[in-house]
Structure 1
């Protein structure tokens, strides 16, 4: 069962490396359409499958479509939105949060009817998204200069992007340990599980859209992100200690939505600002690294629980998120420069050029373009 996450996310991670190469040759809109079409097909095939092994294989194909969509959608939203960079990120996280909240509840309702229901539901919803993208999104011609296949890996040589990507990998290890393994010790019905993650998703949505921008304004990105990660690590530790007490486990999973919501918005915004490369390339590089953690975590969690006990996966996840706090601490001045850009103080960027491994002028111009 954990391989349903692992096959999907690992394929997503590796495929991220080729998304910029594809979108720079056929255009962002066609890349989005191709990604959505793959999800429609493979989600439908998963619903028609007769075995878990078959679903695992179709989830891998689904992951390929997911990579094409995720790496391209953020760049398209930022380019299309009229409310500025920060507003576009909040819009993106608002849509993501609403989907995260509604998805588990709809999945629980459909799963209560048949285990095939959620897969067919995804296929139908993505078909609607496909039609909407074809009809409503303006054509996006391919760039004049195609992106090299190795551009995402080359981009990771920049310290800012590498720092945020490594932080995200460790955070995602804890996040997908909770998401991929916590439902097993809960021992709830499909519908009950849907309601638990519906409550979790509502908190993710609210704190992504409302709380994260306010915390950033008051305390800055570095302090807000560090606090959210530290509290999430503590929450995972509570899950690990009390995994046999259902009400504590359920409560801790729902509360995790607070910290995940704050992290999602601020981390997404920060990685776009600190990356001195084009947004699609930065998104692909960031996605490649972070989904490696997300893909491995559920499988490792299952192995740890099977060979030792159910407490250990969450304790390991808490340790990974604490390590993310330590990695993030090495880039505080980098994040201060990003905050300065959002406040309209671009000159600060040149003072921390070493954080990016580039010349001050290059860093400043790159940050200006992204702000």
Structure 2
């Protein structure tokens, strides 16, 4: 598979995805400097992730309704514009409360962009659904890997640097999307705000969403809390999480398809989640040993990359609904875990010690393993094909999805 042999529409959205996902890791190296500069506690500083993820999760409920009315390109541009404003205003702020608030605005923009971008790439891709999702996850991995590195460099100058860096990079992504992404030739049928909730009635999609909720609990415990026990400079933390992001990107593109081919999709996800839980348990036992924390962060990237790719593909095929609706429903549930985990990890670390957040993260991920195992009977069709079949169970919605897919492919 040649990842670059894609229509220009896909390449434009993928480039914007790289920049968008830089925003997640870009902030990670400056969590402790922000806390030190503004006199904030770890739990207060972790609210930068909580407000971002909470608003992002809630906003996912409206993304399919908004994009089906405005169109894919205007929704992507609106999301990018909101991110530019949120990041820039956060960089200008002088209090932790203001930064937390502007991170919430940033989360709104990211919701509009991310959910729409995934559906756009899958729809306009020249390959199979699996290839499109691997391409999307590759963009995600590159962005997540580069974010901490750039954040560490800018953060060594000032904790405000990464926020302004996001605004500048997002402005570049805005221009690329504006100039290279064509307008769709036709509008899909407007979707309802109730559609994501209806989609969650499908047991397979609900099971995967709940699995991702618990998995994200462990993921954001790792991401938001580890900089505090590491107690390193912004550049050093950036390098550690660059290693994590590089492993995530490698596993997303190369390991996930191989594991899927050998063991099947659901079994591979269960293997990856169990491996991630074991890494968190190792970090819980040896929290006082920085080399173990560093190794744990980097190795976790392998399991997270496998899981991200395979879970995303499973969501696209778990229920007979439009891709944008499935993505919105799934993201709403999973980001709830990402919203609670950063604050809770900070609180548990302050109150009970640095070991406890990792033990709680381990338990959450293992709970996700149990939920997915219980949902396997509703996901037996996942490996039947690497394309999304036209589901006769929802002809009106699928007809709209087909119209959107065809129009975007022609526009590309």
CA contact (8 A) 1:160 1:274 kept: yes
CA contact (8 A) 1:171 1:324 kept: yes
CA–CA distance in 2 between the matches of 1:168 and 1:125? 29
1:362 aligns with 2:406: no
Q: What CA deviation, in whole Å up to 9, does each residue of 1:320-350 have, x standing for no partner?
A: 0001111111222443311112289x7xx9x
1:164 aligns with 2:208: yes
1:326 aligns with 2:370: yes
Residues 9 and 141 of structure 1: CA distance in aligned 2, closer, same or farther (over 3 Å): farther
Q: Which residue of 2 aligns with 1:303?
A: 347
Q: Which residue of 2 aligns with 1:56?
A: 100
Q: Which residue of 2 aligns with 1:235?
A: 279
Equivalent pairs, count: 356
CA–CA distance in 1 between the matches of 2:172 and 2:387? 38
CA–CA distance in 2 between the matches of 1:30 and 1:363? 27
Unaligned runs of at least 5 residues, structure 1? 350-359
Q: Which residue of 2 aligns with 1:153?
A: 197
Taking only aligned residues, the RMSD between alpha carbons, in angstroms, comes to 2.0
CA–CA distance in 2 between the matches of 1:308 and 1:212? 37
Residues 144 and 229 of structure 1: CA distance in aligned 2, closer, same or farther (over 3 Å): closer
CA–CA distance in 2 between the matches of 1:274 and 1:122? 34
Choose the corresponding residue for 2:241, options 180, 184, 197.
Answer: 197
CA contact (8 A) 2:321 2:394 kept: no
- Residue 182 of structure 2 aligns to a residue in which SS? coil
Choose the corresponding residue for 2:300, options 229, 239, 256.
Answer: 256
Q: Which residue of 2 aligns with 1:223?
A: 267
CA contact (8 A) 2:203 2:378 kept: no
CA–CA distance in 1 between the matches of 2:185 and 2:198? 24
Runs of 4+, deviation exceeding 4 Å: 363-366
Unaligned runs of at least 5 residues, structure 2? 1-44, 406-412
- Residue 329 of structure 1 aligns to a residue in which SS? helix
1:127 aligns with 2:158: no
1:16 aligns with 2:60: yes
Greater alpha carbon shift after TM alignment, 144-153 vs 47-56: 144-153
